[in-house]
Structure 1
Amino acid sequence: MPPKKPDDYVNVTTSLAYLLVYNFAQVGGWTMIAFAMGLKWVAKGSYTDFYGAVEPMLLIFQTAAILEIFHAMFGLVKSNPVLTAFQVFSRIIVTWGILYIVPEVHQSVGVAMLLVAWSVTEIIRYSYYMCGLIDSIPYALMWCRYTFFIILYPIGVTGELLSIYGALPFIKDRGLYSVSMPNRANMSFSYYHVLIFVMLSYIPIFPQLYLHMFAQRRKMVSASPKPKAE
């Protein structure tokens, strides 16, 4: 194997620095989101104002996750680009295609569920990735990464489905993101029916992803931390 050129080391170092900054920013962003919800809960004792407390931060940091598709495409990380794209865009649809355009759902329990599940999941996930970049993942963090999903994943998915379902009547009545005939293109598009399809797609996809995480858990987490080799 030929020795690496100086440019290779520069590229690796630059990529590592970029990924560290990206993951650090995401940890900070989602921590602020979780903290804002906590303050709102302490102040009012209710989940109904969670979205209003976090909307700007949610839009920024959830949208920034689109970069992860390019990370996978360009080989900066080992993730599958297709799977990454599906996971990111499912969140983007809920964030911009439901929460942003249908304020009537903001105070629903479904929105509170997904916000709590997303924030805790992302704080753990990005912390795990950040520590992995420097080859120093605490066992406790690894355990959290491959254990908390057991509860958080169903809560988040349920919250997403409840939010989409709650928004459907408003989207249908207002014709949001839809195109009706007649028009110059002589074609129609129903965002309402697209969302129904998205909801139905959870049926085959959610069990596969959930079981995949259990398989990863069996691989990554043991009964106790393994001692390091001398």
Structure 2
Amino acid sequence: MKGKRKFSLKEIYLMAYNFLLFCIWAITFIVSVFSFNQDSSYRNGWKIPFLWSQIAHGVMWMDVVHAIFKVTKSNWFINAVQIMSRTMVSFVVWGIAKSNCVGWWTPMMFFSWSITEIIRYGYHVLNMASEELPKWIVSLRYSSFYILYLTGFAGESITNCMTIMRIPLSSEIGIKLPNMLNVAISIPFIIRVYTLTSAIYFPDMYKHMIVQRKKHLSTNPILPSL
């Protein structure tokens, strides 16, 4: 009879961290469903889902910290790029545009984000707590991006474009001169640059996920390679 597996402090911490984010994203999904049913006109600007996404993405920056200090084996730069993209939408874009940037694409974006992260963080918890996971769980973890990453990126891009259309470049939103740092920052300009940059690097990020899928499903995958 095998003895009970003992977990290190690092493993306990990571399981607690991943479970916390699993719960936050589960709540985000639930409030998104509620908002979808109750605010079909988008007049309220999806305040509650955006609030929960801000909480989630704020906590998710610990993914980058973990990678930098080798607590996890993930690539800190890839993590930072992915989290930064959503952080821009959750904090900056929605922060200045509110209901002007929401529409039919908003639930698509939130459902894509939340389902993706529920799968990802749930997988990490199960993977650390179990000696071996069912193949379908591993396949779900590394195959769901084929659709969810596309729909999530589409939702982010439309949100950004709607903001660009409704907030002119000449808008004075940002940090104006004169100030102590003698630096002027135009938020509308930053959103335009970020939107263009995201579109340019999207193919590379998508290819990276395909490579990761092949790497983790290379041995007897339950689903055929796509």
TM-score range, shorter chain: 0.7 to 0.9
Q: Please say if 1:26 is aligned against 2:24.
A: no
Does the Cα contact within 8 Å between 2:139 and 2:222 map onto a contact in 1?
Answer: no
Cα distance 1:217–1:50, how it changes in 2: closer, same or farther (>3 A)?
A: farther
Unaligned runs of 5+ in 1: 1-9, 226-230
Q: 5+ residue gaps in structure 2?
A: 1-5
Partner of 1:5: none
Q: Which residue of structure 1 lines up, in the alignment, with residue 102 of structure 2? A: 107
Q: What residue is the counterpart of 1:166 in the other structure?
A: 162
Q: Could you say if the C-alpha distance between residues 167 and 144 of structure 1 is closer, same or farther in structure 2, counting changes exceeding 3 Å?
A: same
TM-score by length of 2: 0.82
Residues 102-130 of structure 1 deviation map (CA, whole Å, 9 limit, x = unaligned): 21235312322211110010000111111
Q: Cα–Cα, structure 1 residues 178 and 108, in superposed 2: closer, same or farther, change >3 Å?
A: farther
Aligned-residue RMSD, C-alpha: 2.5
The answer to whether the 8 A contact 1:52-1:106 is kept is no
2:46 aligns to what SS in structure 1?
A: helix
1:196 maps to a residue whose letter is R
Match of 1:150 among 146, 150, 165: 146
Deviation track 1:53-77 (CA, whole Å, cap 9, x = no partner) reads 4233222122110111111111110
Letter of the structure 1 residue corresponding to residue 222 of structure 2: S
**Distance in 1 of aligned mates of 2:103 and 2:25:** 21
Larger Rg belongs to: 1
Q: Quote the offset at 1:132 in angstroms.
A: 2.3
What does 1:26-45 correspond to in 2, within 5 Å?
A: 26-43=21-38
Q: CA-to-partner distance for each residue in 1:21-73, whole Å, 9 max, x for gaps?
A: 111111111111112222344456x3836823423322212211011111111
Question: Following the alignment from structure 1 to structure 2, what is the Cα–Cα distance between the partners of residues 106 and 191?
Answer: 15
Aligned counterpart, 1:120? 115
Given the superposition, is the C-alpha separation of residues 107 and 217 from structure 1 closer, same or farther in structure 2, using an over 3 Å criterion? same
Distance 1:166-1:205 versus aligned 2 partners, 3 A rule: same
Report deviation, 1:101.
3.0
Q: Distance in 2 between matches of 1:112 and 1:171?
A: 25
For the residues of structure 2 that align with 1:223 and 1:20, how far apart are their CA atoms?
A: 25
Query: For residue 3 of structure 2, what is the aligned residue in structure 1?
Result: none
TM value normalised by structure 1? 0.81
1:152 to partner: Cα distance: 0.7
Cα distance in 2, alignment partners of residues 100 and 29 from structure 1: 20
Aligned to 1:209: 205
